[in-house]
Amino acid sequence: MDHETLFRKVQREKLSKEEAERILEEKSLELYRTNQVLKSVLDENKLILRQYREVVDESNIVSKTDIHGIITYVNDEFCRVSKYTREELVGANHNIIRHPDMPKSVFKAMWRAIRSGKIFKGMVKNRRKDGTTYIVNATIKPIINTKGEIQEYIAIRQDISDLIELQNEIKDTQEEIIDRLGELGESRSKETGYHTKRVAEYSKLLALKYGIPEPEAELIRMASPMHDIGKIAISDSILLKPGKLTKDEFESMKEHTTKGFDLFKSSNRELLKASAIISLEHHEKWDGTGYPRGLKGEEIHIYGRITAVADVFDALGSDRVYKQAWELDKIYKLFKEERGKHFEPKLIDIFFDNLDEFLEIRSRFIG
């Protein structure tokens, strides 16, 4: 009850001065207690928020920028990871840690999102003061005032450099194992390990030109050396026979496709699943006359269709126990004849449209 209300009450009820002062004192005490409770709640919330901030600051890279991208705040972790001092960072444009390898499109997408009031999430490569690289998962949120205006931006990041390095190490290890297994399969038929390397590079080039995204094209490159891994289960008498195989021997030789598939078919790993597909289908033909299942056209997985072109091109151009290497003109003639028969027409067109790049790979891996 304020003084004016109390005054009207005094006039209306003809309270004594002492009674009015008593009521005023009670209301003042009530107001004081309410303020104390509110202050206690506020202090407790501040304490909790401070502890939340400490947890975030302890394990994350935190910064704030104004609406123009100028840094206004960084935490200790930001300084530790970036190797810049707080004095060097605050007042600088956030581009100070931008890595030159990061596509401009990423930052355009980021600014487009946060300027429209949305949260941006993504993986970003940054550069430390000493020029080294670190990679973060970033979450950037616009801070909006009561008028609905963006006041500043806050960014919270996790340094995932070690995780990315570990993933790359695992990928490199997988690739090396695949290469060695591929070489093992080739060595049993007295072929050079360069065959698998060339097939891998041809396959990736075909995949990219076909329109397959780079990560998947890279997967095909890594898996294609497994196309003949099933040969390790074929007897030497058939595998190393210098002359033409009998009908029964050829039927046994064809089993290398299913044997290779059986090695990998139960795996849940993306690389080994791709290897299983390539092992099984790289001898299928576009017109349905291939093996082991006589698949036709797009029934054949694109991985198998691509590896078929890469494998045949390299096999024909290489010495084998049963034949000498063909001249390039002879290979070109066969490819044109087999367009739409053995091979998917689009892949043959890609091959001839980019012949110089295939020959560059061929010359790079000689052996």
Distance of CA 198 to the CA centre of its chain: 25
At 354 the three-state DSSP class reads: coil
Instruction: In whole angstroms, give the CA distance from residue 74 to residue 41.
Output: 29
Q: Tell me whether the omega of the peptide bond preceding residue 292 falls within 30 degrees of 0, making it cis.
A: yes
Instruction: For residue 199, count other CB atoms closer than 10 A to its CB.
Output: 30
What is the maximum span of the chain, computed from C-alpha positions, in angstroms?
A: 128
Instruction: In whole angstroms, give the CA distance from residue 225 to residue 199.
Output: 7
* Under 8 Å between Cβ of 284 and 258: no
CA atoms within 13 A on the CB side of 31: 8
Instruction: For residue 164, count other CB atoms closer than 10 A to its CB.
Output: 15
Closest CA to 329 of 357, 307, 352, 301: 352
Catalytic residues: 231
Distance of CA 336 to the CA centre of its chain: 37
Rg for the chain, CA atoms, rounded: 35
Closest CA to 315 of 346, 283, 269: 283
Show Cβ contacts of residue 79 under 8 Å, excluding neighbours closer than 6 positions: 85, 86, 89
Residue type, 76: D
